[in-house]
Amino acid sequence: MRSSAIYGCLGPSLSAGERDFFRGVQPWGFILFARNIESPDQVRALTQSLRAITGDRHTPILIDQEGGRVARLKPPHWAARPPARDFGTLFAINADAAREATYLNARLIAHDCAELGINVDCLPVLDVPVPGAHDIIGDRAFATDAATVIALGRAQMEGLLDGGVLPVMKHIPGHGRAGADSHLALPRVDAPLSALSASDFVTFRSLSGCPIAMTAHVVYDSIDPQRPCTTSPKVIRHVVRGEIGFDGLLMSDDLSMKALDGPLVARAKAALFAGCDVVLHCNGDMDEMKQVAAEVKALEGAALRRADHALAQLITPAAFDAAAATARLNSLMASA
Protein backbone atom coordinates (compact mmCIF):
# COMPACT_ATOMS: atom_id res chain seq x y z
CA MET A 1 0.00 0.00 0.00
CA ARG A 2 1.14 3.53 -0.78
CA SER A 3 1.35 6.01 2.08
CA SER A 4 -0.36 9.39 2.23
CA ALA A 5 2.82 11.44 1.72
CA ILE A 6 4.85 13.17 -0.97
CA TYR A 7 8.58 13.63 -0.34
CA GLY A 8 11.49 15.49 -1.85
CA CYS A 9 15.06 14.24 -2.20
CA LEU A 10 18.35 16.03 -1.61
CA GLY A 11 20.23 15.97 -4.89
CA PRO A 12 20.33 15.08 -8.58
CA SER A 13 20.46 11.35 -7.80
CA LEU A 14 19.25 9.18 -4.96
CA SER A 15 21.54 8.17 -2.13
CA ALA A 16 21.50 4.62 -0.80
CA GLY A 17 19.79 5.91 2.33
CA GLU A 18 17.06 7.61 0.34
CA ARG A 19 16.46 4.49 -1.71
CA ASP A 20 16.09 2.41 1.44
CA PHE A 21 13.80 4.95 3.10
CA PHE A 22 11.51 5.43 0.11
CA ARG A 23 11.37 1.69 -0.50
CA GLY A 24 10.25 1.19 3.08
CA VAL A 25 7.63 3.96 3.28
CA GLN A 26 6.29 3.75 -0.30
CA PRO A 27 5.05 7.34 -0.64
CA TRP A 28 2.21 8.29 -2.96
CA GLY A 29 4.54 10.62 -4.83
CA PHE A 30 7.71 12.70 -5.01
CA ILE A 31 8.49 16.34 -5.72
CA LEU A 32 11.48 17.84 -7.53
CA PHE A 33 13.24 21.16 -6.95
CA ALA A 34 16.11 23.04 -8.57
CA ARG A 35 18.59 21.09 -6.43
CA ASN A 36 17.42 17.92 -8.20
CA ILE A 37 17.82 19.25 -11.74
CA GLU A 38 20.96 19.46 -13.88
CA SER A 39 20.18 18.18 -17.38
CA PRO A 40 17.37 16.39 -19.24
CA ASP A 41 19.13 13.00 -19.17
CA GLN A 42 19.87 13.35 -15.45
CA VAL A 43 16.25 14.24 -14.59
CA ARG A 44 14.94 11.34 -16.64
CA ALA A 45 17.29 9.00 -14.78
CA LEU A 46 16.10 10.39 -11.45
CA THR A 47 12.40 10.00 -12.25
CA GLN A 48 13.06 6.47 -13.47
CA SER A 49 14.89 5.71 -10.21
CA LEU A 50 11.98 7.01 -8.16
CA ARG A 51 9.45 4.94 -10.07
CA ALA A 52 11.64 1.85 -9.84
CA ILE A 53 11.25 2.12 -6.06
CA THR A 54 7.45 2.12 -6.20
CA GLY A 55 7.20 -0.25 -9.16
CA ASP A 56 4.47 1.96 -10.65
CA ARG A 57 4.99 3.89 -13.88
CA HIS A 58 2.14 6.24 -12.90
CA THR A 59 3.69 7.27 -9.57
CA PRO A 60 3.12 11.03 -9.26
CA ILE A 61 6.28 13.11 -9.65
CA LEU A 62 5.53 16.75 -8.99
CA ILE A 63 7.22 20.03 -9.77
CA ASP A 64 6.52 23.74 -9.31
CA GLN A 65 6.95 24.95 -12.88
CA GLU A 66 4.89 28.13 -13.01
CA GLY A 67 7.06 30.43 -15.09
CA GLY A 68 8.49 33.76 -13.97
CA ARG A 69 10.24 33.56 -10.60
CA VAL A 70 8.91 30.09 -9.76
CA ALA A 71 10.58 27.72 -12.21
CA ARG A 72 12.67 24.64 -11.51
CA LEU A 73 13.36 23.90 -15.19
CA LYS A 74 15.45 26.79 -16.51
CA PRO A 75 17.66 27.79 -19.43
CA PRO A 76 19.84 26.63 -21.05
CA HIS A 77 18.09 23.25 -21.16
CA TRP A 78 14.54 24.56 -20.92
CA ALA A 79 12.88 27.74 -22.16
CA ALA A 80 12.06 30.53 -19.73
CA ARG A 81 8.30 30.94 -19.35
CA PRO A 82 6.45 34.19 -18.61
CA PRO A 83 4.85 34.83 -15.21
CA ALA A 84 1.08 34.47 -15.01
CA ARG A 85 0.56 38.22 -14.78
CA ASP A 86 1.79 38.66 -18.37
CA PHE A 87 -1.18 36.61 -19.57
CA GLY A 88 -3.52 38.67 -17.44
CA THR A 89 -2.14 41.82 -19.04
CA LEU A 90 -2.87 40.36 -22.46
CA PHE A 91 -6.37 39.35 -21.33
CA ALA A 92 -7.22 43.00 -20.67
CA ILE A 93 -6.34 43.76 -24.30
CA ASN A 94 -7.57 40.63 -26.07
CA ALA A 95 -9.29 37.94 -24.02
CA ASP A 96 -9.28 35.31 -26.78
CA ALA A 97 -5.57 35.80 -27.46
CA ALA A 98 -4.81 35.53 -23.74
CA ARG A 99 -6.74 32.29 -23.37
CA GLU A 100 -4.96 30.78 -26.37
CA ALA A 101 -1.56 31.99 -25.17
CA THR A 102 -2.15 30.63 -21.67
CA TYR A 103 -3.21 27.27 -23.07
CA LEU A 104 -0.17 27.07 -25.38
CA ASN A 105 2.23 28.05 -22.62
CA ALA A 106 0.80 25.39 -20.32
CA ARG A 107 0.88 22.83 -23.12
CA LEU A 108 4.58 23.63 -23.67
CA ILE A 109 5.30 23.34 -19.94
CA ALA A 110 3.56 19.96 -19.95
CA HIS A 111 5.64 18.93 -22.96
CA ASP A 112 8.84 19.80 -21.10
CA CYS A 113 7.68 17.96 -17.98
CA ALA A 114 6.35 14.83 -19.68
CA GLU A 115 9.61 14.32 -21.57
CA LEU A 116 11.34 14.11 -18.19
CA GLY A 117 8.87 11.75 -16.53
CA ILE A 118 7.21 14.52 -14.50
CA ASN A 119 3.44 14.10 -14.50
CA VAL A 120 2.12 16.68 -12.00
CA ASP A 121 2.69 20.45 -12.08
CA CYS A 122 1.63 22.65 -9.17
CA LEU A 123 -0.42 25.02 -11.32
CA PRO A 124 -2.66 26.97 -11.66
CA VAL A 125 -2.20 29.66 -9.00
CA LEU A 126 -5.80 30.74 -8.42
CA ASP A 127 -5.09 33.29 -5.70
CA VAL A 128 -6.55 36.79 -6.15
CA PRO A 129 -4.12 39.39 -4.74
CA VAL A 130 -5.42 42.52 -3.03
CA PRO A 131 -3.64 45.86 -2.46
CA GLY A 132 -1.31 45.76 0.51
CA ALA A 133 -0.86 41.98 0.49
CA HIS A 134 2.61 40.42 0.63
CA ASP A 135 4.14 40.00 -2.82
CA ILE A 136 4.79 36.28 -2.34
CA ILE A 137 1.89 35.81 -4.78
CA GLY A 138 2.23 39.02 -6.80
CA ASP A 139 2.80 38.31 -10.49
CA ARG A 140 2.32 34.60 -9.92
CA ALA A 141 -1.41 35.44 -10.08
CA PHE A 142 -3.02 36.16 -13.43
CA ALA A 143 -4.78 39.29 -12.22
CA THR A 144 -6.46 41.01 -9.30
CA ASP A 145 -9.99 40.14 -10.46
CA ALA A 146 -11.55 36.71 -10.11
CA ALA A 147 -13.04 36.59 -13.61
CA THR A 148 -9.64 36.84 -15.31
CA VAL A 149 -8.11 34.31 -12.93
CA ILE A 150 -10.91 31.84 -13.66
CA ALA A 151 -10.72 32.21 -17.44
CA LEU A 152 -6.94 31.84 -17.62
CA GLY A 153 -6.77 29.24 -14.85
CA ARG A 154 -9.14 27.07 -16.87
CA ALA A 155 -6.99 27.47 -20.01
CA GLN A 156 -3.88 26.57 -18.02
CA MET A 157 -5.48 23.45 -16.60
CA GLU A 158 -6.57 22.34 -20.06
CA GLY A 159 -3.09 22.84 -21.50
CA LEU A 160 -1.49 20.75 -18.77
CA LEU A 161 -4.06 17.96 -18.98
CA ASP A 162 -3.78 17.78 -22.78
CA GLY A 163 -0.04 17.40 -22.32
CA GLY A 164 -0.35 14.44 -19.97
CA VAL A 165 0.35 16.41 -16.77
CA LEU A 166 -2.04 16.81 -13.84
CA PRO A 167 -2.70 20.36 -12.59
CA VAL A 168 -2.75 21.31 -8.89
CA MET A 169 -4.76 24.42 -8.06
CA LYS A 170 -3.28 26.47 -5.26
CA HIS A 171 -3.44 27.81 -2.64
CA ILE A 172 -6.97 26.77 -1.62
CA PRO A 173 -9.05 28.57 -0.34
CA GLY A 174 -6.94 31.66 -1.19
CA HIS A 175 -3.55 33.20 -0.38
CA GLY A 176 -4.13 36.53 -2.12
CA ARG A 177 -4.89 38.56 1.02
CA ALA A 178 -2.00 37.19 3.07
CA GLY A 179 0.23 39.85 4.59
CA ALA A 180 3.17 37.49 5.09
CA ASP A 181 5.14 34.87 3.18
CA SER A 182 4.03 31.52 4.60
CA HIS A 183 7.48 30.11 3.88
CA LEU A 184 8.70 32.39 6.67
CA ALA A 185 5.74 33.21 8.94
CA LEU A 186 2.09 32.39 9.53
CA PRO A 187 -0.18 34.81 7.64
CA ARG A 188 -3.52 35.88 9.11
CA VAL A 189 -6.43 37.19 7.07
CA ASP A 190 -9.04 39.23 8.94
CA ALA A 191 -11.46 39.79 6.05
CA PRO A 192 -15.09 38.87 6.76
CA LEU A 193 -16.44 35.62 5.36
CA SER A 194 -18.66 37.52 2.94
CA ALA A 195 -15.64 39.16 1.28
CA LEU A 196 -13.75 35.87 1.09
CA SER A 197 -16.76 34.15 -0.48
CA ALA A 198 -17.22 36.89 -3.05
CA SER A 199 -13.60 36.99 -4.24
CA ASP A 200 -11.05 34.59 -2.80
CA PHE A 201 -13.13 31.42 -2.85
CA VAL A 202 -14.89 31.99 -6.17
CA THR A 203 -11.88 31.08 -8.34
CA PHE A 204 -11.51 27.70 -6.64
CA ARG A 205 -15.27 27.13 -6.67
CA SER A 206 -15.42 27.82 -10.41
CA LEU A 207 -12.58 25.39 -11.13
CA SER A 208 -13.40 22.82 -8.46
CA GLY A 209 -13.12 20.01 -11.00
CA CYS A 210 -9.33 20.30 -10.86
CA PRO A 211 -8.01 16.83 -9.90
CA ILE A 212 -5.71 18.08 -7.10
CA ALA A 213 -5.59 21.13 -4.83
CA MET A 214 -2.91 22.42 -2.44
CA THR A 215 -3.86 24.03 0.85
CA ALA A 216 -2.89 27.51 2.03
CA HIS A 217 -0.93 27.86 5.27
CA VAL A 218 -3.14 30.85 6.11
CA VAL A 219 -5.36 31.59 9.12
CA TYR A 220 -8.80 32.99 8.24
CA ASP A 221 -9.96 34.73 11.42
CA SER A 222 -13.61 34.77 10.38
CA ILE A 223 -13.65 30.96 10.01
CA ASP A 224 -11.06 29.49 12.37
CA PRO A 225 -8.84 31.97 14.23
CA GLN A 226 -6.83 29.16 15.82
CA ARG A 227 -5.51 27.18 12.86
CA PRO A 228 -4.38 27.71 9.25
CA CYS A 229 -6.38 25.95 6.56
CA THR A 230 -3.87 23.09 6.32
CA THR A 231 -4.57 21.99 9.90
CA SER A 232 -8.13 23.30 10.32
CA PRO A 233 -10.95 20.75 10.18
CA LYS A 234 -13.39 23.67 10.09
CA VAL A 235 -11.86 25.37 7.03
CA ILE A 236 -11.42 22.11 5.13
CA ARG A 237 -14.86 20.73 5.98
CA HIS A 238 -16.94 23.89 5.63
CA VAL A 239 -15.03 25.83 2.98
CA VAL A 240 -12.83 23.52 0.87
CA ARG A 241 -15.20 20.56 0.78
CA GLY A 242 -18.35 22.55 1.57
CA GLU A 243 -18.70 26.01 0.03
CA ILE A 244 -16.07 25.48 -2.68
CA GLY A 245 -17.30 21.94 -3.33
CA PHE A 246 -13.86 20.48 -4.05
CA ASP A 247 -13.96 16.67 -4.07
CA GLY A 248 -10.54 16.05 -5.60
CA LEU A 249 -7.31 15.05 -3.90
CA LEU A 250 -6.34 17.60 -1.24
CA MET A 251 -2.63 17.88 -0.51
CA SER A 252 -1.03 20.09 2.10
CA ASP A 253 1.48 22.75 1.23
CA ASP A 254 4.98 21.94 2.45
CA LEU A 255 4.93 20.87 6.11
CA SER A 256 8.44 22.23 6.65
CA MET A 257 7.41 25.85 6.00
CA LYS A 258 7.72 28.23 8.94
CA ALA A 259 4.00 29.07 8.88
CA LEU A 260 3.52 25.81 10.80
CA ASP A 261 5.04 25.06 14.18
CA GLY A 262 5.76 22.06 16.33
CA PRO A 263 7.55 18.82 15.43
CA LEU A 264 7.00 17.39 11.96
CA VAL A 265 5.15 14.39 13.32
CA ALA A 266 2.59 16.73 14.92
CA ARG A 267 2.25 18.81 11.76
CA ALA A 268 1.59 15.71 9.67
CA LYS A 269 -0.94 14.38 12.19
CA ALA A 270 -2.78 17.70 12.33
CA ALA A 271 -2.96 18.08 8.54
CA LEU A 272 -4.30 14.56 8.03
CA PHE A 273 -6.76 14.92 10.92
CA ALA A 274 -8.01 18.20 9.44
CA GLY A 275 -8.86 16.50 6.17
CA CYS A 276 -5.82 16.63 3.91
CA ASP A 277 -5.63 13.44 1.85
CA VAL A 278 -1.85 13.55 1.47
CA VAL A 279 0.87 15.62 3.12
CA LEU A 280 3.82 17.24 1.37
CA HIS A 281 7.36 17.41 2.74
CA CYS A 282 9.81 19.08 0.41
CA ASN A 283 13.30 19.71 1.76
CA GLY A 284 14.65 16.16 1.65
CA ASP A 285 15.87 16.23 5.28
CA MET A 286 15.95 12.58 6.28
CA ASP A 287 15.30 13.13 9.99
CA GLU A 288 12.24 15.25 9.18
CA MET A 289 10.97 12.75 6.61
CA LYS A 290 11.22 9.99 9.18
CA GLN A 291 9.09 12.06 11.55
CA VAL A 292 6.45 12.51 8.86
CA ALA A 293 6.59 8.82 7.97
CA ALA A 294 5.99 7.90 11.61
CA GLU A 295 2.57 9.56 11.42
CA VAL A 296 1.24 9.01 7.90
CA LYS A 297 -0.85 5.95 7.22
CA ALA A 298 -1.69 3.96 4.13
CA LEU A 299 -3.76 5.83 1.56
CA GLU A 300 -7.25 4.36 1.85
CA GLY A 301 -10.95 5.12 1.84
CA ALA A 302 -12.06 8.46 0.37
CA ALA A 303 -8.44 9.65 0.08
CA LEU A 304 -7.53 6.62 -2.04
CA ARG A 305 -10.63 7.14 -4.20
CA ARG A 306 -9.65 10.75 -4.82
CA ALA A 307 -6.04 9.81 -5.57
CA ASP A 308 -7.12 7.14 -8.05
CA HIS A 309 -9.58 9.54 -9.68
CA ALA A 310 -6.84 12.12 -10.14
CA LEU A 311 -4.44 9.65 -11.74
CA ALA A 312 -7.21 8.37 -14.00
CA GLN A 313 -7.16 11.79 -15.68
CA LEU A 314 -3.63 11.28 -16.98
CA ILE A 315 -3.66 10.76 -20.74
CA THR A 316 -1.13 9.97 -23.43
CA PRO A 317 -0.74 13.29 -25.25
CA ALA A 318 -1.64 13.62 -28.91
CA ALA A 319 1.08 14.55 -31.39
CA PHE A 320 2.35 18.04 -30.62
CA ASP A 321 4.51 20.45 -32.62
CA ALA A 322 6.38 22.33 -29.90
CA ALA A 323 8.19 24.60 -32.37
CA ALA A 324 4.94 25.71 -33.99
CA ALA A 325 3.31 26.21 -30.60
CA THR A 326 6.26 28.33 -29.46
CA ALA A 327 6.08 30.51 -32.55
CA ARG A 328 2.35 31.03 -32.12
CA LEU A 329 2.78 31.82 -28.40
CA ASN A 330 5.49 34.37 -29.12
CA SER A 331 3.26 36.03 -31.70
CA LEU A 332 0.36 36.26 -29.26
CA MET A 333 2.49 37.62 -26.43
CA ALA A 334 4.03 40.23 -28.73
CA SER A 335 0.57 41.72 -29.20
CA ALA A 336 0.53 42.72 -25.53
Instruction: Please report, as a single letter, which amino acid is at residue 322.
Output: A
The active-site residue out of 64, 253, 254, 277 is 253
Count the neighbouring beta carbons within 10 Å of the beta carbon of residue 284. Answer: 19
* Separation between Cα atoms, residue 308 and residue 272, nearest integer Å: 18
Parallel, antiparallel or unpaired: strands 219-220 and 166-172: unpaired
* Separation between Cα atoms, residue 99 and residue 119, nearest integer Å: 23
Torsion angle of C-alpha atoms 336, 125, 141, 325, degrees rounded to 10: -10
* Separation between Cα atoms, residue 111 and residue 107, nearest integer Å: 6
| Distances in whole angstroms, Cα of residue 100 to Cα of each of 158, 295, 304, 321, 328 | 11, 44, 34, 15, 9
The active-site residue out of 20, 41, 183, 308 is 183
58 has catalytic annotation: no
253 has catalytic annotation: yes
N-to-C CA span, the chain: 50
User: Phi and psi of 203, rounded to 5°?
Assistant: -65, -45
* Separation between Cα atoms, residue 129 and residue 251, nearest integer Å: 22
Helices (H), the chain: 16-25, 40-54, 84-93, 95-116, 146-162, 193-195, 201-206, 233-234, 264-274, 286-295, 301-311, 322-334
The number of C-alpha atoms within 13 Å of 242 and in the hemisphere containing its C-beta is 10
Catalytic residues: 183, 253
